[in-house]
Structure 1
Amino acid sequence: MKKYDYIFAGAGLSALMTVYQMILSGKFKEKKILLLDADSKNNNDRTWCFWEKPDGDYEHLVHRKWNTAIFSDANFTRDLNLSPYQYKMIQGMDFYQHVFEAISKEHNIEFLQQKIIRFTEENNGILAETETEKFYCDKLFNSILNPQEIVAQKKYPYLQQHFIGWKIKAKEPVFNPEKATFMDFSIAQKGNTRFMYVLPFSKTEALIEYTLFSKELLPENEYENEIQDYFKKLGITNYELIEKEQGAIPMTCYPFWKKNTKNIVHIGSAGGWTKASTGYTFKNATKKSKELVAFLATGNDFRKFHKKTRFWFYDLLLLDILDRKNYLGSQIFSAMFQKGNPAIIFKFLDEETSFVEDIRVISRCPKTPFLQALGKRIGI
């Protein structure tokens, strides 16, 4: 049985970011590291978007970026000047190639395309099993989410950011490539939080996604029918479908960190690294991977890694509202963005605001649902 210092169960965004940060630190060259994943990571299976100041850590991988974003609902449309931020897009394939190129230069890091089926702690270490082999390690990083454990409990709501997106080339020049549509709530809400999301690459090319923050997924044709209805609204009558993408990202404040043990840490969506109130992952994973690698240099007990902040509680209140009254999402986000300072809002969503700035953002939201949610959560 092969023995490693570190094993990564799953080699998605957060695992690859953590390994990459380990390489950059130069402090793990004598550690044997294994990544296990059923997927080969050699296809462009997703895109990540995030807001960030210029010259970020992965700037050289940015495929597109926008300085202005559009927010709309049934009553208003606003161009958001994102300065000092930019809205950035990275393609999955570009990220995978970059990280695996770095891994290929390290003699101590190995990737195996094998599906991990279980891992168990024994004798102060971890036994990790795939469908064909067994491996042993001192520390294990798990990024494989088990949604059943979240659904089974009732204390913390579990919603999903779920979507289908079409990348198209239209005959008509209907897009403004300088402006991304961040959220367009002008579409029918149907009792949920539903919006269109548009990333324009040229006057005729864009990625258009139909997105929901809700509990249940929809039949595939419902997403696609809404996308085609939106084309009519934009004036698109003739187009070529280039690519499709779909996903379902967990939105929950479930305390994943309580499942950490001395030698097992849960990362990525399985560790609560997804921003619960928005479903955004890339920026949070960048921060958390750095924090985790810094912790590895000084700490030996993963139970001490996580630190809960006030932003976790803010997210919990919003999810409590959307869990009980999902239709309020449009009203809440519109209240924030209609007159609020975009830079402060995005700073708040990045969990980097002062308490005074928090109040500036929160005070714009409808007060009654948040006070009701707060009343039910007193004592947590």
Structure 2
Amino acid sequence: MNNYDYIIIGAGASGLLLADAMGRDSFFAQKKILILDKNSKKANDRTWCYWEKGKGQFDTIVHKEWDNILFEGTKISKKTKIDPYSYKMIRGIDFYDHYLNRIEGYENITFKQEEVVDLLETSTEVTVMTLNNSYVGTFIFTSLFDYKMTTQQQKYPVLQQHFVGWEIKTDKPVFDASEVTYMDFSIPQKGNTRFMYVLPYSNKTALIEYTLFSEKLLPKEEYEEAIKKYIWDRYKCESYEIIDKEAGSIPMTAYDFREHHTERIRYIGTAGGWAKPSTGYTLMKTANKIPKLIDYIKNGEPLKKLKLKNKFWYYDLLFLDVLHFDNANGYKVFESLFKSLSPQMVFKFLDEKTNLREDIIYINACPKTPFIKAFFKRLF
């Protein structure tokens, strides 16, 4: 039988965390659940990073964590301990292995490697068409994202956080394994907001990413040439081995993704607007939203009611307006923040846990003119 109560499309972070939450909850014990993904999830195709106080739900699969960060600007260089936070990194392959192994233990959940090509919705069910089969589900949760979801509107700017990363191994010790280079804006900006991001695993191995906040992608060669130049300029290292590569693009937009939800289809993860608009960090926001989504499902409430907007959504919107209007000077915002504030304060604000007094302190640390201009453009 190809009929299911719930079908989850996409076995990324949101899909696997949702499936695992369903598997652990007795409410879903008698429900048939299907997960579909075009990939086998056997490749290390990404990394997730986040900061956290103390122990957390992903600690058993954390690949590396750091207690110090470095911020480099054009005018400042700031090395800081971040306790009580730790900066943590998970490899994609470890995440997939862990959660797929857990899901294998749930008799009512099935994972199939198939590519979804279409959804056909009626008032009572949704038919999910794959390249070789069709499945019928009462409710669908899909994490399949397409930039067309956000670009067919003019109300909200749509930027991309796009990057290429190399994991390298050097022939001599050049890295400080205790310290993440969180943002290095000392590199040429070339009309965009550009920075280097370095995650050292040891004094000879690190993941180095060239990252941009802008509207359009670059030719692949431009990312890689920037990484090569940085390795030499920063570490004076000519001899190294490229162990692995990764690339990605995360939408940066305050667009309300709920417009795409229907009565029986709910977008989750990046496709549901779960990535934080101003930073692209998604894993912890996803982990925090899954319990809320589970409650909505169990209570039978319309899924469109799961709102994303709060005061931080408005802050993010203004920040994206600033980047959209003057992308070449985006580095000045971050440099001003890290010059005036501790990274702990920045992390607390980005975690959306600050009170109004702390919000004002954070806002006062930002350059005033671009945000005032963005505010009045948005207002009128």
Please report the TM-score for the alignment, with normalisation by the length of structure 1: 0.97
For the residue of structure 2 that corresponds to 1:346, the secondary structure is: helix
Measured against aligned partners, the alpha-carbon deviations of 1:76-109 in whole angstroms (never above 9, x if no partner) come to 1101221111100001111101111111111100
Distance in 2 separating the partners of 1:82 and 1:21: 31
| Per-residue deviation, 1:124 | 2.0
- The 8 Å contact of residues 261 and 301 in structure 1, kept in 2 or not, is answered as no
Residue equivalent to 2:285: 284
Please tell me whether residue 372 in structure 1 is matched to residue 376 in structure 2.
no
Alpha-carbon separation, structure 1, partners of 2:133 and 2:153: 33
Q: CA deviation at 1:276?
A: 0.7
- Aligned partner of 1:72 in structure 2 is 72
For residue 357 of structure 2, what is the aligned residue in structure 1? 356
Any residues of structure 2 matched to 1:328-347 within 5 Å, and which? 328-347=329-348
The question of whether the paired residues in 2 share the 8 Å contact of 1:70 and 1:183 is answered with yes
Amino acid at match of 1:241: I
Measured in 2, the distance between the counterparts of 1:232 and 1:101 equals: 42
User: Quick one: which amino acid aligns to residue 213 of structure 1?
Assistant: F
* Shift in CA distance, 307/215, structure 1 to aligned 2, threshold 3 Å: closer
> Retained in 1: the 8 A contact 2:64–2:88?
yes
8 A Cα contact 1:262 1:300, kept in partner: no
Deviations 1:294-313 (A, max 9, x none): 22222331122224211111
Look up the match of 2:54.
54
4+ runs of 1 displaced by more than 3 Å? Answer: none
The equivalent of 1:250 in structure 2 is: 251
CA contact (8 A) 1:36 1:114 kept: yes
For 2:112 and 2:280, the matched residues in 1 are separated by: 29
Is the counterpart of residue 104 in structure 1 residue 104 in structure 2?
Answer: yes
- Alpha-carbon distance in structure 2 between the residues aligned to 1:334 and 1:157: 23
d(CA) in 2 for partners of 1:246, 1:59: 25
SS in structure 2 at match of 1:176: coil
Match of 2:155 in 1: 155
Deviations 1:216-236 (A, max 9, x none): 111111111111111111211
TM-aligned CA deviation for residue 262 of structure 1: 2.5
1:327 is aligned to 328
Whether the aligned pair in 1 keeps the contact of 2:40 and 2:113 (CA below 8 Å) is yes
Report the identity percentage.
45
Q: Which amino acid aligns with 1:327?
A: A
Q: Superposition pairs for residues 8-157 of structure 1, below 5 Å?
A: 8-157=8-157
3-state SS, counterpart of residue 27 of structure 1: helix
**Counterpart for residue 170 of structure 1:** 170
Q: For residues 140 and 315 of structure 1, do their structure 2 counterparts lie closer, same or farther at Cα, with a shift above 3 Å needed?
A: same
Aligned partner of 2:50: which letter? F
CA 180–353 in structure 1, closer or farther in 2 if over 3 Å, else same: same
**Counterpart Cα distance in 2 of 1:300 and 1:120:** 22
| Distance (whole Å) between structure 1 residues aligned to residue 331 and residue 274 of structure 2 | 24
Unaligned runs of 5+ in 2: none
Q: Tell me which amino acid in the other structure corresponds to 1:94.
A: D
Residues 49 and 90 in structure 1, CA contact (< 8 A), matched pair in contact too: yes
Task: Flag the 1:26–1:69 CA change in 2: closer, same or farther, 3 A.
Answer: farther
- Determine if contact 1:193/1:328 at 8 Å carries over to the other structure: yes
TM superposition shift of 1:237: 1.8
Unaligned residue ranges in structure 1 (runs of 5+): none
State the AA in 2 paired with 1:292.
L
Following superposition, the deviation at residue 265 of structure 1 comes to 1.1
Query: In structure 2, how many angstroms separate the alpha carbons of the residues matched to 1:345 and 1:51?
Result: 11
Check conservation: 1:263, 1:301, Cα contact below 8 A. Answer: no
The separation in 1 between residues aligned to 2:10 and 2:377, in whole angstroms, is 37
Distance 1:375 1:299 in 2: 41
Amino acid at match of 2:188: A
